[in-house]
Structures are given as structure tokens and as C-alpha cells.
Amino acid sequence: MNTIAKYASLVKFSHTIFALPFALVGYVYALVATGTPFRWLLLVQILLCMVLARNAAMGFNRWADRRIDARNPRTAGREIPTGAIPARRAAWFVAVNAVLFVVVAGTINPLTLWLSPVALLVLLGYSLTKRFTAWCHVVLGVALGIAPAGAYIAVTGRLALVPVILSGLVITWCGGFDVLYAMQDEQVDRREGLHSVPARFGARGAVVVSILMHLVTVYAVVLLGVYMPGGLWYRIGAGLFVLLLVWQHVRFTPQRMDRIGASFGLMNGMASVVFAVFAIVGLILAA
């Protein structure tokens, strides 16, 4: 495995698909709502911020959890526990990406510069929350939910209602599916003294919490349709997104934990892309 592939695997670069499509929705909505001309440079800056911030967040997560990962059969094969990437190099990787994130954010507008350390605090802080709260999944949702609001701020230099609703959608959607994903580590979390919804409430309780969070997600999807242009295109994308959300709860249950793996990430990635494609098409046609 070459160096680039190792670091891409370390940060699960493919998982960028969860938040990136929603960031693009926030970006396109900002252009349409404010009549701002499209600029390639700004789009590149936003995408760079997304990649750098996520690299820092996931790299820190893997560095902070390296000893725990080594004792968990599911994660023992990760890059730092196996020595494929030394812990010290992983720490440098995090530092470099964090600094570059702030630098790039500073080239966009003053508000993105001042908010970049706050974003890093949330993104890096998430990795430590499992040490003291079962609601760490919500913090993960917040870390990913920053993306659409951040993209809107990058275009306009301010915040508005629609990107806030969009961020709320991402927070509850990601938090809810992370609760389901964490069911795999219920026993390990208890053994290690870590906190999570499954460790605190059991697998069945985790399913209930996840469903409740996703009901809030559905509410956000409906509310967003009231305020954001898009018409039929938005409704189709929103409907498909909700169907994939429902199917997730049908497919992944405490009795079917063996199904939580690559297909779980694929399903959520598909939901994100489908929602974003239809929402963006609707916004462009409504402009």
C-alpha cells in the first residue's frame, strides 16, 4: 500500500460522501438565494476546507483511539494499531491539515476565518466525547452538520434559516445512523469504560433513539421543502432520501448486526447523493 493510499484509508476518505453533498446544497442555495455569480475559485476553496477539516478530524480520531482500537477486534487492523502509519506521523498529519484548513478558510472571508478554530474544536473534540457522554453520536452529527452552514457562510459571509435547517437535518441523520453503527461495539465500549447509546441503553434502546433522531430528520426534510426552492425535484429527492432512511431501519436491526458493514455506509452515502442531486437540480431550475 503506497503512502497516499495509507492516509486515505486512515481518514476513510470515501466517507466524505456523507457531508460533502449537503455542503454543495448549501453552496448552490447560497448562490441562488443571493444572486451571487458562480466562481470556480470559491468552490475549490470550499472543497479544500471540507477535505482538510475532515482529514484533521478523522486523523485525530484514529490517533486518539489508537490504543482502544488495538484492543477491539473490529478495529485492530487499522493503520496506527498495525504500525502501517506511526502514531507520531499521524499526529503531524492532523496538525498540518488543521493549519491548512485555517489558512484556506482565511482566504474566503473574515467570518470563515474567525469560525474556523470553532469548527476545529468541534471536529477534533468529537473524538474525546466517548470518554464522558453517551451522546457522542450527536457531537459527530454536529461535526458533519457544520458543512452546509459553512458553505453558505463561505458564499455570503453570514448565516440564514435554510442552511441552519439543512445543518439540523445532517446532525440528526448522521447522529442517528452512527447510533446504529455503534451497536457493533456495544460490548467493547462497556469493557473499555467508554460511553455510547448502545452501551448505555442496549441494542434495542439504541434502535429507539436512532428512530427518534431520524424522525427529527424527516421533519427537517419537510420543513426545508417549505423554505427552499426546488418544487417537484426537491420533493422527489426528499422522498427517496426518506425511503432510504426507512429501509435502513428495516435492514439493520439488533438481530441483523452482520449487515452493518460496507453496505451500511453505501446506503447512507447513496441517500446523501440522491438528496443533493435532486435538491441542486431543483434549485438551478428555480433560479
Instruction: Extract the residue ranges of the chain whose pLDDT is less than 50.
Output: none
Strands (E) across the chain are located at none
The whole domain housing 248 covers 3-286
Which CATH number belongs to the domain containing residue 180 in this structure? 1.10.357.140
Sign of CA dihedral 157, 160, 162, 166: positive
Q: Is the pTM of this model over 0.85?
A: yes
Q: What are the tens digits of pLDDT across the range 39-52?
A: 999 999 999 999 99
Task: Give the count of domains, the chain.
Answer: 1
What does the pLDDT read at residue 14? 65
C-beta separation of 135 from 206 below 8 A: no
d(CA 204, CA 177): 14
What does the pLDDT read at residue 1? 54
Backbone phi, then psi, for 230, in 5-degree steps? 155, -30
What does the pLDDT read at residue 258? 67
